């Protein structure tokens, strides 16, 4: 098992994050449209400037492998994470989310995941999140309809 830790996001992490979000399979699994470099830079500048957003870089065995974040959505506190495709299926996301939840103490906490992303659903369930709703979404990166599942964590 990898040694996983979280640290503050650094400027040098952003090229990794850009590359991973630009990956077609990753984008499809996350059901998040890719951004070009200018839009990506603006998005991350906005995230980094939001005082209530918590951003962390996920490091495994001294290698940057992903990121985790929490933010206040329209009504609820949300959590998300993204791992580079090369690091999927190794248990890193589960460990990273557990570590992140030790820092992000607000409850309830919510997350959404595309129904077809079984790996991410399992990560949330292992961390104690429970499904609370589902809705059909038709604006995914492939412009198709899919179910977006909403999960809730009441306590760690």
Domain ranges of the chain: 4-153
pTM value > 0.85: yes
Do residues 78 and 70 touch, judged by C-beta distance below 8 A?
A: yes
Backbone φ/ψ region at 80: left (φ over 0), alpha (ψ -120 to 50), beta = beta
CATH of domain 4-153: 3.40.630.30
3-state secondary structure of 108: coil
> Which of 112, 109, 65 is CA-nearest to residue 89?
65
Cα dihedral value 56, 57, 61, 62, nearest 10: -120
Tell me how far apart the alpha carbons of residues 58 and 80 are, in angstroms, rounded to a whole number.
Answer: 12
Spell out the per-residue pLDDT of the chain, length 156, in tens. 789 999 999 999 999 999 999 999 999 898 888 999 999 999 999 999 999 999 999 999 999 999 999 999 888 999 999 999 999 999 999 999 999 999 999 999 999 999 999 999 999 999 999 999 887 766 555 556 678 899 999 985
């Amino acid at each position: 098992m990898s040694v996983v830790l979280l640290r503050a996001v650094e400027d040098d992490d952003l090229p990794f994050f850009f590359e991973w979000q630009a990956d077609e399979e990753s984008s499809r699994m996350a059901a998040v449209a890719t951004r070009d470099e200018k839009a990506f830079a603006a998005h991350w500048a906005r995230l980094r400037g939001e005082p209530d957003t918590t951003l962390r870089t996920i490091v495994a065995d001294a290698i940057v492998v992903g990121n985790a974040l929490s933010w206040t959505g329209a009504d609820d506190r949300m959590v998300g994470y993204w791992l580079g495709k090369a690091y999927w299926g190794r248990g890193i996301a589960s460990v990273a989310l557990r570590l992140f939840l030790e820092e992000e103490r607000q409850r309830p906490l919510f997350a959404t995941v595309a129904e077809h992303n079984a790996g991410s659903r399992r990560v949330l369930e292992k961390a104690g999140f429970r499904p609370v709703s589902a809705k059909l979404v038709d604006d995914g990166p492939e412009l198709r309809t899919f179910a977006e599942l909403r999960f809730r964590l009441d306590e760690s």
